[in-house]
Structures are given as structure tokens and as C-alpha cells.
Structure 1
Amino acid sequence: MYVCDGSFYEVAAYIQGFAAAMTESPFGGENRFAFNEYVTLACGFPAKLAWPFVLKKATQTDEDAIAKLHTLLSAYIEAVDGNRVAQLLSTERMNGSIRDAEPQVICWRLFSRALHRGDQIEIEKHALQRDDIQILWSSSYPADVIPKMDEIAESYSIPVLFVSDDGMRSRVMAPDFGEIDLEMLDGSWKIDPSPIIRQRIYANTKTQEIA
């Protein structure tokens, strides 16, 4: 198609427009939900995100994004034709469980649990030292809410966006916080809590203004 010579978002817009008009297509109508889940899972992202955003985040260039979309579209259409969509999604969910064992993801999950509890020892164990880091353990969720917060956090996929060539830096996509950087320090991954600290400071400032 001529549109494949354009930018990735042009290609994505074309496909979304086609899907909206052709509801019986493999990725139109009700099928669009399964297609969105397949693409997001295949890229290691939470299924609640939109597939164009995920593909753009998961690749470096428009050319890479279009190529990956072509591959995923082909696999998905073959699955639809063979009535294997449920099997395809099941495989990607299983792959997601395997990806979840990556050390950067484990580091984030442990850090997230510590945030819920305002646990200074665990936060400092998994985070780099930054100015105002103490704000991260200055409060916690109520004890009866913490298990639910843990459950919600554990239900999200945490994609690893990149790892540096020297293996010393990495980045994950964390629910509610966006892109989070990590650094390797003394053989262990450490979270850079800077964006979370800024978010807490901003929230506290707004609360004080209202009060």
C-alpha cells in the first residue's frame, strides 16, 4: 500500500480507519480488541494501552515500527484465518510471564511494594540516592489497602524498553509513572526515583495550596 512509504502514524491511522470501516476484517469490529491485546502483549506492554503507542515506544525508528507492525499483522491474520486467536493470545501471555522474570522488572516490583508501605529500608535498597528521596517513605497506604495495591501493581506488565550496550543502564515502562530509568550499581539494578520524587513533591504542594 502506498501509505507504507509514509510515517508510522500515517500507517497506523490508515489501518485504524480501515478497521473502523471494515468491521468484518481480521482487526476490525470486535476483533480490534484482540488485535490490540496481541500487539501490546507481543511488545511486552500492558494490554490496556493502544497498539500504535506501544509499537512506537517499542521501536527506535518509523521504519522499525512499520516492519514490526507488518510482522504482527501477518501473524494475527493467519491466526484469525486458522481460528487460533485464543491460542495466539495465550502464548503471548505466557511469554509475558517469562519476560516478567527479568531483573529490572523484579527490581521495579520490589520497589513498588516498598512504596506502598513507605518502607525506607526497602526503598533505599532498590533505589539510587537522590535529593528529597525521604519523601518516598514519608507516607504509606492504609494497611487494609496495601494488599489491593500490590495486587493491582502485580497485574500490570512491565516492559523493558532498552538496555545500554555496556549493560549498565536500562529503562522500563512503569504503570502510573511512565518511563523509569535504572542503573547497575554493585552488581544490582537500582531505580532512579527522580520522577517519582518530583511527582510526590508536586502532589504535596497542591495539597498544601488547597488546605
Structure 2
Amino acid sequence: MYVCDGTFYEVAAYIQGFAAAMTESPFGGENRFAFNEYVTLACGFPAKLAWPFVLKKATQTDEDAIAKLHTLLTAYIEAVDGNRVAQLLSTERMNGSVRDAEPQVICWRLFSRALHRGDQIEIEKHALQRDDIQILWSSSYPADLIPKMDEIAESYSIPVLFVSDDGMLSRVMTPDFGEIELEMLDGSWKIDPSPIIRQRIYANTKT
């Protein structure tokens, strides 16, 4: 059963229901995984997220979301008909590499690597000062796991969701911490680590 949040989610629910019933359709059966990856990549989001959530986040209104869904559905169905799905996904992955050059994304990736290592200097370099920030460098992953953690983190797309009109505030979507805010300070983007600090504090209370 679907709980609809307006017109777009009604359309998304219909398409998902159709895909579940019509497994031979271009976006049903095994094809649904490739379709989900295509939509998420095209919107610059991590592929592990569900496409209705991604389209809702990537657009301002239901009308925009439905229009974008129509465009993506059409392109995907044409790719399936022409046996070009692999090529379509490859193109979107290349586009994702270009999006990764955005300074907010670079800032997040450097901060993420510093988190894996518990590197105080690098964390403070890329983060705003907040209460209890020291918890972010109080521990690190085992040395033999850090390269794998870096590899996993680098494999995810990090979309820029928002940039303020004055260019001083921004927001990115991360796979592990959800939406993260950034602030321009002295000409460089800085991560607001508040939600990560809260998560670490909560985790420590459970151990």
C-alpha cells in the first residue's frame, strides 16, 4: 500500500505497481534495477537510493518531478528498445565524474577521508567549529580497512542539492548521513558536522 504525498507520488506508485505486475516491461522485472540506477545517476544521486525519492529531491514541484520522470522514462525505454542500456548508464556515470568536480563535493570527500582516519587536522580544516567536534577524531577505522572505506565512499555520487543566491550556503546529499550543509568561510567551503557529531554521540551511548 502506498501513502501518496501529492501528484508525483501517485504517478510513481502507479509506475512501480505496473512494473511489479508487468515483469517484461522495460522497467519491470530485472530491468527495474537498471532503471533505478539510470534515474539516480541522471539526477546525480547515489544509486542505492530509490528513484521516487531521488526525483522528489531533485525537483522543486510535483509538476517538475513528473516532467523529469517523463523525460527519463522516454530515454530509458528508447535505450531498452535499442539495446543501449549499458551505453546509457556508462554516459551517466561519466557525467557523474564531471559533477564530482564541484567544490562542495570535493570538500565532502576530503572530510569523509579524514573521518575514516580520525585525522584532527584535516577534519578541522574542512569543518566548521561545533561543540563536541572532538568526538570526530576520537576514533578511526582499523588501518587495514581504511583503503576499502575510501573506495566505497568514492563510489557514491554526492549531488549538490542547493546553493544560496549569495553563494554562501550549500547542501549536499551523502549516502551515510543524509543532507549535509556547507558554509562558505574565508573563500572555502566548510562542512557543518553537527548531524555527524550527534550520530557519534548517540552511538557512544549505545556501546
CA distance in 1, matches of 2:145, 2:5: 50
Contact 1:135 1:197 (C-alpha < 8 Å) held by counterparts: yes
Q: 1:175 to 1:2 in 2, by over 3 A?
A: closer
TM-score, structure 1 length as denominator? 0.93
Secondary structure of the residue aligned to 2:45 is: coil
1:65-110 Cα distance to aligned partner (Å, 9 max, x none): 1111011111111112222111111100100111111111100000
Q: 1:120 to 1:2 in 2, by over 3 A?
A: closer
Contact 1:4 1:11 (C-alpha < 8 Å) held by counterparts: no
Aligned-pair Cα RMSD in Å: 2.6
CA distance in 2, matches of 1:41, 1:103: 19
Q: 1:5 to 1:145 in 2, by over 3 A?
A: closer
Residue ranges of structure 1 left out of the alignment (5+ in a row): none
CA distance in 2, matches of 1:124, 1:74: 46
Number of residue equivalences: 207
CA distance in 1, matches of 2:98, 2:137: 31
Residue ranges of structure 2 left out of the alignment (5+ in a row): none
Deviation >3 Å, runs of 4+: 1-6
CA distance in 2, matches of 1:153, 1:2: 32
1:115-147 Cα distance to aligned partner (Å, 9 max, x none): 111111100000001111111111111111111
More displaced 10-residue stretch of structure 1: 123-132 or 25-34? 25-34
* Structure 1 residue 204, shift from structure 2 partner: 1.0
* Structure 1 residue 13, shift from structure 2 partner: 0.5
* Structure 1 residue 27, shift from structure 2 partner: 0.9
CA distance in 2, matches of 1:60, 1:158: 19
